[in-house]
Structure 1
Amino acid sequence: MTREQYILATQQNNLRTENAQFYPVGIYGWRKRCLYFFVLLLLVTMIVNLAMTIWILKVMNFTVDGMGNLRITKKGVRLEGISEFLLPLYVKEIHSRKDSPVVFQSDRNITVNARNENGQLTGQMTVGADFVEAQCKRFEVKSHEDEKILFMADEEEIVIGADRLRVTGTEGSIFEHSVETPHIRAGPSQDLRLESPTRSLTMEAPKGVHISAVAGEFKASCRKELHLQSTDGEIFLNADNIRLGNLPHGSYSSSTPNSVGPRQTVYELCICPNGKLYLSPSGASSTCQLNSNICLWS
């Protein structure tokens, strides 16, 4: 390049530089102030969130094992102290420590539900202030040692599997329908009383009914009739003294003029065809036929 060409090119570049416009680069004015304000607000928010997070971790006692009274172990979740649940709790098993019981407490009722795979309710137990209610197909109470059924109830029957059922109420036990049991016994030094105030009392057994009062007396009383019936056997009364009180007395009248004698002290026991018993003054022969008017009026 010659000198004249260099000078000409240099003059052209200078002219282009002088004619070029300069534009500022960056954020200036109110935009810059707004950006700084938002950055400062974001920084303050982050500091507040960090402080709140640290405070929550401190208050709730978060550790690597759990939170507060809640501990996460290999066997499950462990709660220590009193815990409140505001929503339903779904667990597989709940058990207490070896040295303390499990206490469920509520201001109202406590309800335990059991559901099947489809979510349908299969069993429910409610503990209220005045009642305990269980709804299920079968309710069982078993012993701890041999898992013997102590009590079982379903729609068809109620089974009491204990060796002894004791009713300690002063009014005894009231049954509206029939009762089937092999043995009824009163407590020591207490009387056994079977009573039906407004209806009849019936005792039946396929192989006999045995009533025994070892140290006391046996008494059967009723308002109307007392029936002792044996279809294929006999009624056997075995005692040193057999007394039949309040039997009607038949009058004795003979055809002989010497009918009036001393006061009668010996009587004959007579029976009517309908089974009624009465007393007839004894004589040299049977006097039951002479007092048959009692059988006619009975």
Structure 2
Amino acid sequence: MTASPREVFERLSQGIAEGRLTELADLYAEDTVVEHPQRPPAGSRIVGRKAVADHFAAMGGKVTMRARDVVIHETTDPEVIVAEYTYDGMSRRPFTSANVQLLRVRDGLIVHSRDYHDYLRMAAAGGGLDGLAKAYADFAPELPAEVTPLEPRTAIERVMLGVTSGANPADEYAENAYVMHPFHPSAPPLRGREDLRAHFAEGRGTGLRPHNVVSYATTDPEVVITEFAYVGITRAGRPLVTQNIFISRIRDGLITESRDYGDHLAVAAATGTLPDLFAAARATVAA
């Protein structure tokens, strides 16, 4: 019997936890595509099972990771699932990091994967923050020649347009909304509409626009998953492209809960705040 997308993810996760990295490429199709949209500094794309095997071989025993608190979102496309989970890992130091994987599985094999990981915390645990600083030192992302237009269908998409137009979109959230930024090492949760109003007020005038917005309906009618980029020029005059995935619960037309997995490294690099972000990341890594 052909393995379901959920079963394939579970085999992948278990193989990583048990260190059986040389076996993992067998879970991927011959012509698979694996993308890491937030991999510093410009994302990465791996094509083909052989390249995936080389990727896992390069990991070797450098890092050990075990997933916990796994939540799998079934989408209305039977081939596609989105998995949220936490890694307990060990590099030079132990770390805990958030992750999201969007998998398309066909005939029991992964044909496309978009993997979002907390590269900041992993780098802090592995002594790689200096390497990240060097990677971003001379990096300038290429802005798209044309930004894709957005016709908002959900509250999250209306938030994007509000942010980019300079309006404050806090009214798209419920009074008791709860919003987290799991990839940021020190950002506290936003609790309620007034917290969100203050949060959006700080970001006004960024000049960013949403680009390549893709929404996934799930089998839970309240949960929407949205992938998109913010693109534009920062107040400091630097180009910025951030890849993001938001997992949101929308009830009665208002966002009640959202986990916003944003590319805080790209933002900090473009705004000159990497040292502050690195300091916050170091504080999360056990001594």
**TM-score interval, smaller chain:** under 0.3
Q: Relative contact order (C-alpha < 8 Å, sep 6+): which is higher?
A: 2
Question: Which structure is larger by alpha-carbon Rg, 1 or 2?
Answer: 1
Q: Larger % of strand: which?
A: 2
Name whichever structure is richer in helix by fraction.
2
- In the superposition, the TM-score normalised over structure 2's length comes to 0.18
